[in-house]
Structure 1
């Protein structure tokens, strides 16, 4: 199984030129965040679940960077060897003393990979719990309906189940907020959202555009929007082509979802322009105004069309990093605006 890890994704993009006291501090904080807040040994009332999750993080990152394991599985105390818990093993790896055998950039990227994957796995687990909540409620009703106490017992158990799910979700959201704040304080140009740590150089844009955008597309309905936008950001960060193409694909998916949700899709649409027209139609109540229609048409024409078609013998189309950032930020802003109108 191939795992997308930060150190491989950004191996050609220098971020750290030196290992500083701020970096050391962050790694201690991140290790505690992963092993004590994301996966504490009281996790879900079963320490084995926490250990299994941390072992998955350990094994997947180790495989991708070409190691058998991260850190030391055994420790010698009083001339005897003792097996370390997976939490201690990962914490030891995260807080290991910087060695000159590694560049500061690679040393930090490998450890950021651990943090990223731990958060991604926990986010997937929390999302699965939320998605399975109706089924788990139905199972509880079936099990307790005929027991002594009947309705009262069932209601109490249902309330407990829902409270536990909400609590886990809140704990994860708070952990994400803390991670992003700690990366900001460490002066890292990074932020976490939807399973990935990505470059975010502009604090103002991050606060006003990126953070609200990722919050809005966290629901399952917008999953494809989030996937394409994450791809756009990765391409931009690594100075690769097609960042604007994937950003516009995310915007097109948003238009399609809204058109479908509102019942405006005719089945004859052949591209994003047709979906824009569905939203501006007077018969559909002018979801967007004519001037907005014109702006969206222009965006797709300039930032999407040149990259969505083969250039033939013409020069290969390209964008500067600044232009790619503009395309991503404008697409994010449009998506935010459109979703907030629903």
Structure 2
């Protein structure tokens, strides 16, 4: 998942998990319509607004300059990632032509032109949609990673700002600490608003997708998505739950590609939740041999019955009946598998349990 690096000596090449490659056998739509054209226009505009939000206050125009620089870097990074995976140099004509002399376009311009290109009737609709969604996904993912790093470094930035303020004239109208906080709030709120809007635009375009923590993924049940999936992804966005996030994304990717082991990864994500909670609460004994022992830690009376006995019994059944058959070779017995409906149930149930347990922390 995400992107990894290979050093080939000459340059670093990014191996990127793009939407188009992730779902080769599951088209988003079978026809290109006016809804698709509108979505691509709206998404391209939304990305620029997200990356170039007007600062509420600035010092010598520095914030606006940093936003412009970051916007161009984000589009360049996203563009290059997608191009590398598709084996092309550019997604659209990279040059302006004035009086016969070529001039290189900004990557934000190239990306905008690509997303708004007129649909080519010679290309199957699901290919065009999948490729353009890949670029949108990468821009969102790269900026989300930047905001995560911004959050991680906020305390040190505030400390440096306070140090600057302590050395400034008491009559100065500029407060560095307030400036850092305002800038941080602006950037994080614009990202949150962009994600909410992109998911609403996906609904309006009749795409069975939602964006969660860096990835577009299929969702077939709107109510389940609203009540379970979206709260789940919001909760596991915290770095503490990074393994849960990765395992559940793996489960959904495998489900959407008809892989019979999807439920195994979903229930493994649930196991990670249980282990993390047990460890964070200080309930591990060091004698645990499997998921059931960690469930017992949560249900222990000595630990305040974090979960009730009936809940512990249901959780253990998830591991015994859903996950364990896929964790061992079947030998001469029938290869374990679940129907698509059973797989969806397993993923939704694992998400629901995880959401409930995390919210009790």
Residue 88 (str. 1) matches residue 88 (str. 2): no
Match of 1:22 in 2: 35
How far does residue 39 in structure 1 lie from its aligned partner after superposition?
4.9
Residue 131 (str. 1) matches residue 144 (str. 2): no
Aligned-residue CA RMSD (Å): 2.0
C-alpha distance in 1, partners of 2:64/2:327? 47
C-alpha distance in 2, partners of 1:131/1:153? 29
C-alpha distance in 2, partners of 1:266/1:98? 61
Equivalent residues of 2:165, 2:177 under 8 A apart: no
- Give the 3 Å change call, closer, same or farther, for CA 148–16 of structure 1 in structure 2: closer
How far does residue 154 in structure 1 lie from its aligned partner after superposition?
12
TM-score (norm 1): 0.94
Match of 2:72 in 1: 51
C-alpha distance in 2, partners of 1:44/1:180? 27
- Give the 3 Å change call, closer, same or farther, for CA 175–53 of structure 1 in structure 2: same
Say which structure is richer in helix: 1
Residue 4 (str. 1) matches residue 4 (str. 2): no
- Count matched residues: 340
Gaps of 5+ in 2: 1-13, 56-62
Residue 262 (str. 1) matches residue 281 (str. 2): yes
Equivalent residues of 2:52, 2:64 under 8 A apart: no
- Give the 3 Å change call, closer, same or farther, for CA 154–291 of structure 1 in structure 2: farther
How far does residue 138 in structure 1 lie from its aligned partner after superposition?
2.4
Q: 3-state DSSP class of the match of 1:318?
A: coil
Equivalent residues of 2:95, 2:105 under 8 A apart: yes
* Greater Cα offset, 306-315 or 184-193: 306-315
Equivalent residues of 2:53, 2:190 under 8 A apart: no
**In the TM superposition, what are the counterparts of 1:1-342 in structure 2 within 5 Å?**
1-39=14-52, 45-46=65-66, 47-77=68-98, 80-145=101-166, 147-149=167-169, 156-342=175-361
Equivalent residues of 1:200, 1:206 under 8 A apart: yes
C-alpha distance in 1, partners of 2:359/2:107? 43
Gaps of 5+ in 1: none
C-alpha distance in 2, partners of 1:294/1:267? 22
TM-score (norm 2): 0.89
Equivalent residues of 1:14, 1:105 under 8 A apart: yes
> How big is each residue's C-alpha offset from its partner over 1:77-118, in whole Å with a ceiling of 9 and x where there is no partner?
565544322111111111111113321111110000001111
